Amino acid sequence: MLTYNMDVTPESVWKRTTPSEAELAQPYYCTEAGVFYAQQHFSTARTDKESYILFYTLRGAGLIEQDGNHVILSTGQALLLNCRTPQSYCTAPGQSCWHHYWVHLDGVGVAAMEPLLFPGKKLTPVQITGAKMQELFETILGQMERGNVDSMVQTGLTLHGMLALCAQTILAEAETTSARQVILQAAEILRKNYQKELSLADLLADAHMSKSYFLRLFRRYMGTTPYNYLVNFRITQAKELLVLTDHSVTEIAQQVGFGDASNFSTRFAKATGQSPLQYRKSALKPLDFTREAGGFMSK
C-alpha cells in the first residue's frame, strides 16, 4: 500500500524504466530515479516495495522513519533504505523544503553492501562532502534516457560508485572508534603470529568485548571470520614460498603454520583451485612468446 502527498515544484524530475533481463542479472540496476524539489507538505508512506531507495539531500531536510528508527537527512547527507519493510519519509518538521535526489535500485550487489550501509541494522545518514554524489545522480538520470547496453553498464557502475562512496565514508568515520581499532589490532596479531597456533581466546584477551560482538565486528571490518582471515594469510605466504623456494610441500605447510601437509593441501586447493604443486608448476612455467607484426603475442 502506498500513500503520498506530492507537494513538489514543477521543475522536479521523475524518470522510470523497465529493466531488461540482462539488466536484472546485473549486480546493480535501477527502476526509477528523480530529483524532487519537495515543499513543506511532501510525504510518502508505503508498506513494501521490492527495491532499495537511495536519498541525497540538496537543501533543507527530510525525515525518514522505519522499524521504530527515525533520522533527519540534512543537506549533503545520503541514506540507503530497504523498501521491503514499511517506511515513511517526508519534509522534516520545521523545514520549508526538502530538495533531494533519489533512486530506486536493486540487485545482489546492493544486498551484499547492505551490512556496510546499515551498521548495527540502523538507518545511517552519511555526510558526503563535495559535489561527487550530485554528479553521480545526474549520470543516472542521463543514462535512463538512453536505454542501451552501454547505458546499462554505466548505470551499474554509477550505482556501485554511489554505494561505495557511502560505505567508504561510514568506514572512514569509524576509523577512530575504539571498536574498529580493536579489530585492526586483532588482524595485526594474526598476521604477525600466523606461524603459531592461535585461538580466538588469544584475540579476545585484550579485546574486552563478548565473543559474538567481536566476531560480528571482525566480519564487518575485515570481510570474513578471524579463522578464514588467518588461513588466507597463511596461503598467501605459502604462495611466495612455493614460487621463491624449492622447499617441499610438507616443509612449507609447517613454515606457514598449517603443520599438517594434508590439511594445507586441502585448504590451498579450496582457496586457489590448484594443489600446491600445481600452483608452483604454473607460476614457474616460462612464457612462450613469438614476434608478430612488430609486437608480441602469447602462444
pLDDT digits (tens, 9 = 90+) for 225-245: 999 999 999 999 999 999 999
Whole-angstrom distance, CA of residue 165 vs CA of residue 159 = 10
Per-residue confidence (pLDDT) for residue 176, from 0 to 100 = 56
Strand-strand pairing, 295-298 and 52-66: unpaired
CA distances from 223 to 139, 227, 257 (A): 30, 12, 22
Per-residue confidence (pLDDT) for residue 225, from 0 to 100 = 95
Q: Which three cell numbers stand for residue 279?
A: 600452483
Reported confidence tier of residue 299, pLDDT bands at 50, 70, 90? very low
- The residue among 49, 51, 81, 44 whose CA lies nearest residue 66 is 81
Per-residue confidence (pLDDT) for residue 296, from 0 to 100 = 35
Cβ atoms of residues 134 and 77 within 8 Å = no
Q: By percentage, how much of the chain surpasses pLDDT 70?
A: 94
Whole-angstrom distance, CA of residue 233 vs CA of residue 235 = 5
- Answering whether pTM is above 0.85, one says no
Whole-angstrom distance, CA of residue 286 vs CA of residue 267 = 26
pLDDT digits (tens, 9 = 90+) for 102-127: 999 999 999 999 988 988 788 989 99
Handedness of CA 54, 57, 58, 63 (dihedral sign): positive
Backbone angles phi and psi of 123, in degrees to 5: -60, 130
Per-residue confidence (pLDDT) for residue 106, from 0 to 100 = 96
Q: Which three cell numbers stand for residue 90?
A: 517526508
pLDDT digits (tens, 9 = 90+) for 148-180: 889 999 999 999 999 999 999 888 776 656 788
Reported confidence tier of residue 284, pLDDT bands at 50, 70, 90? confident
Q: What is the mean pLDDT of residues 17-45?
A: 95
Mean pLDDT, the chain, whole residue set: 90
Per-residue confidence (pLDDT) for residue 294, from 0 to 100 = 40
Backbone angles phi and psi of 253, in degrees to 5: -55, -40
- The residue among 245, 241, 246, 203 whose CA lies nearest residue 222 is 203
Say which residue the cell 538520470 belongs to. Answer: 141
pLDDT digits (tens, 9 = 90+) for 44-90: 999 999 999 999 999 999 999 999 999 999 999 999 999 999 999 99
Q: What is the mean pLDDT of residues 214-221?
A: 90
Cβ atoms of residues 183 and 166 within 8 Å = no
